[in-house]
Amino acid sequence: MKAAADLLWDCWQNGHRLESVPDDIRPRTREEGYAVQAMLESRTAAPLFGWKIAATSVAGQTHINVTGPLAGRLLPERVTDLSRRSAEGAQAELPFGVNHMKVAEAEFAFRMGRDLAPRSQPYSVGEVLDAVATLHPAIEVPDSRFDDFTIVGAPQLIADNACAHLFVLGPPAPDGWRAIDLAEHRVTGTVIGRHFQRRQNESVTRAGKGANVLGDPRIALAWLANELSGLGITLRTGEVVTTGTCLVPLPIHPGVTVIADFGTLGRISAQIV
């Protein structure tokens, strides 16, 4: 497992790509994929910022040829935390680097208010929500260390940290968010800026809603809590869980600004540089 973790970490840090993890060190099961992923924590600042969920829609699962969601770690040095800023000042600046996937995603994120320890009985959605402190609008900029992430399968994608890369957490939503039907809540994502090849201004806007995330972002949050519980991992107080894109991912390149508008729940933006 360590050899696979070393290889994937090196690719992530240095912008290299793999066709696949070499056969002799390749994870074969989801559990082996998570064992490789867990070795990231010894290489990153502590504490862990939180968790992400990939492939939370049928379309997303079909696209990458998996049968269900995947969990990944949010590493603190890859996070821009705007949660203490006002809504008016909630803009991040993110490096484009050698990003392979070239997309940004608008996501519902939850910060935990107390621990959820591993147990034999699954957590209900209500139990998990009772452990949440705050809800936040968020932007994820994923990436993969594979040349073609659609064909390598779930164990390797999990080992690759479920395509985690950069993450922006926005200010907390108003306290009344618990009374809102998040499944039906509308979200708009927009990319604006000057295209560096065509040398003209462009704008892309896409709409979605919470139901695109496993039917409801609250259901996705409970899935993550139970996925970690099954792995013997505690979802800890203060950790953030981002629940997956609620709209078709937005195309990005250097020079554009991504805006994620969650209406009454908040609005954040990220400039790609």
Domains of the chain listed by start with CATH number: 2-82+104-176+211-247 (3.90.850.10)
Percent with pLDDT over 70 in the chain: 96
Question: Which helix or strand (DSSP H or E) is residue 79 part of?
Answer: strand 79-81
83-137 per-position pLDDT tens digit: 988 766 689 999 999 999 999 999 999 999 999 999 999 999 999 999 999 999 9
Residue 110 to residues 78, 180, 216, 222: CA-CA distances in angstroms?
18, 14, 13, 11
Q: What is the pTM of this model?
A: 0.95
How much is the pLDDT for 137?
Answer: 97
How much is the pLDDT for 197?
Answer: 55
What region, left, alpha or beta, does residue 247 occupy, with left being phi > 0 and alpha being psi -120 to 50 degrees? beta
pLDDT (mean) for 176-199: 87
Neighbours of 134 (CB within 10 A): 16
Q: How confident is the model at residue 195 (pLDDT cuts 50, 70, 90)?
A: low
Q: Which of 30-34, 136-140, 197-201, 226-230 has the lowest mean pLDDT?
A: 197-201
How much is the pLDDT for 58?
Answer: 82
How much is the pLDDT for 57?
Answer: 85
How much is the pLDDT for 88?
Answer: 66
Mean pLDDT of the chain: 94
Q: Could you tell me the end-to-end alpha-carbon distance of the chain, in angstroms, rounded to an integer?
A: 35
Nearest residue to 213 via CA among 99, 120, 125? 125
How much is the pLDDT for 89?
Answer: 66
Q: How confident is the model at residue 63 (pLDDT cuts 50, 70, 90)?
A: confident
How much is the pLDDT for 62?
Answer: 87
How much is the pLDDT for 149?
Answer: 94
pLDDT (mean) for 237-260: 96
pLDDT at residue 157 above 60?
yes
30-47 per-position pLDDT tens digit: 999 999 999 988 899 889
Q: How confident is the model at residue 198 (pLDDT cuts 50, 70, 90)?
A: low
Interatomic CA distance for residues 140 and 126, integer angstroms: 26
Provide the β-strand partners of residue 94: 272
Residue with tokens 């997303």: 60
pLDDT at residue 82 above 70?
yes
Provide the β-strand partners of residue 203: 192
pLDDT at residue 140 above 90?
yes
Enumerate residues 6+ apart whose C-beta is below 8 A from 220: 53, 56, 69, 213, 214, 243, 244
How much is the pLDDT for 60?
Answer: 87
